[in-house]
Amino acid sequence: MSSPTLLPSFDTFLLAHAVKDHLVDARFYKRVYRNQGWLSPVVIVNGRIVAVWFLEEHATSFVVDVQPFAPLDAKLRRGISQEAEALGSFLGAPCGAQFA
């Protein structure tokens, strides 16, 4: 299993695919490709979308709210948490992950 990657909304990896079932199961399609052309930020593992995520801003920190499509094992959760910490470095404030 490769490491998870947090992709932002409208990431080019998600665009310009006529058929998207190689990226996301049909039952989760509308959570990624939303109404009116909106694309959710996603977690990618091995080229597949396994969750959507949303950034919550607090007074002095950020939280990545991860909404997985199926239960995530501990190793994958740690990888996502590490990605959230790296995002915090970019944003200049602590950033952690929480899982729905």
Tokens of 79: 């990888």
Q: What is the pTM of this model?
A: 0.91
Q: Is 64 helix (H, G, I), strand (E, B) or coil?
A: strand
Note whether 67 and 53 are within 8 A (CB). yes
Distance CA 52, CA 56 (A): 13
User: Taking Cα atoms as reference points, which of 40, 80, 48 lies closest to residue 64?
Assistant: 80
Residues 71-100: tens digit of each pLDDT? 999 999 999 999 999 999 999 999 999 999
Contact (Cβ atoms closer than 8 angstroms) between residue 47 and residue 14: no
The values of phi and psi at residue 96, to 5°, are -120, 180
**Below-50 pLDDT ranges, the chain:** none
